[in-house]
Amino acid sequence: MSSNVNSVKNTLKVAFGLCAVCSIVISSAAVILKPMQTANEILDRNKNILVAAGLFDPSVHTNADVAGMFSEFTPRLVNLDEGRYLTDEEQQSLGLDPQTYDQQSAKNDPAMSEALTGTDDVASIRRRAAYATVYVIDNEQGEGYQTVVIPVSGYGLWGIMYGYLALEGDGNTVRGIGFYDHQETPGLGGEISNPRWQEQWLGKQIYNEDMDIAFRVSKGGGQGEYQVDALAGATLTSRGVENMIEFWLGERGFAPFLRNEVQS
Ligand SMILES: Cc1cc2nc3c(=O)[nH]c(=O)nc-3n(C[C@H](O)[C@H](O)[C@H](O)COP(=O)(O)O)c2cc1C
């Protein structure tokens, strides 16, 4: 009898049974938790946008405040090459929704993005999606904007840094910067997430009078109208941040959109 229990057949039965039970439990958990996971991702994204815009102060606000505060923003899809908003018809025919559009997934889809090479790829991101979501707050006069938040990304020392840059309604003055994902070293390049370093971005100008990008991340540059101070011991990360701004505020990034829809 005992030899029967330990037979190869019985061992396989128990092993397969266990595998089946475990896979059902794991798949059910994944399906049940998916909506919660999506909700958390949206909460996190919206909080990062509020932080970049200088509206969310973690010492005062909590996650429960995010939805109410974020409702001030309108997400809108931009055609980057043409520098204009997508029309409702275009969004419908492309099946895109500004609330759910995922620029990172689109970047990896050859049908939704294009490769960047040579000097075009100053931020070393290799590909750029054709469309991007911007988050705007209309100004009180109902003409133009109070705040425009754009997604930005660029290679640092160890990997791509992802963040949001908030601009004032002139499409030039910085309202704030926030990074939500990067692989830079804590205490060195990781200081891009330090609110004290980010504070100096407030009020800086991106473009000069000729509308050329004048913004720089330079050692000892904190006092200038167009400069922020580079991070100590993290020259490569600092250069990555500068390159990121050069790309996303340039002609392959949001410059055409800012000219046509914000600065005009
Ligand atoms: C373990 C380790 C981690 C580092 N992490 C970073 C980093 O995240 N960003 C960066 O720019 N430099 C980093 N560095 C330093 C760079 O190798 C390089 O020395 C630095 O960018 C030069 O900056 P400095 O001219 O301000 O000293 C790291 C170095 C070491 C040894």
Model confidence over 194-226: pLDDT tens digits? 999 999 999 999 999 999 999 999 998 778 899
Q: Count Cβ atoms below 10 Å from residue 5 Cβ, excluding itself.
A: 9
pTM: 0.88
Residue type for 109, please? Answer: D
- Using only C-alpha atoms, the chain has a radius of gyration, in whole angstroms, of 23
As a whole number of angstroms, the distance between CA 6 and CA 15 comes to: 12
- Phi/psi of residue 192, each to 5°? -60, -25
Q: What is the number of the ligand 1 atom nearest to the C-alpha of 233? A: 26
Looking at residue 167, the DSSP 8-state letter turns out to be E
Of the candidates 210, 254, 211, the residue with the CA atom closest to the CA atom of residue 83: 254
Residue nearest to atom 19 of ligand 1 (CA): 233
What phi, psi does 53 have (nearest 5°)?
-80, 0
pLDDT in tens, 241-263: 999 999 999 999 999 999 999 99
Q: For the chain, which residues make up each domain, given as ranges?
A: 2-52, 73-263
Whether 173 is in the pocket of ligand 1, judged by its Cβ within 6 Å, is no
Instruction: Give distance in angstroms: CA of 74 to centre of ligand 1.
Output: 39
Say if CB 245 and CB 213 are below 8 A apart.
yes
Query: What spacing in Å lies between the alpha carbon of 226 and ligand 1's midpoint?
Result: 24
Strand partners, 153: 162
pLDDT band of 142, cuts 50, 70, 90: confident
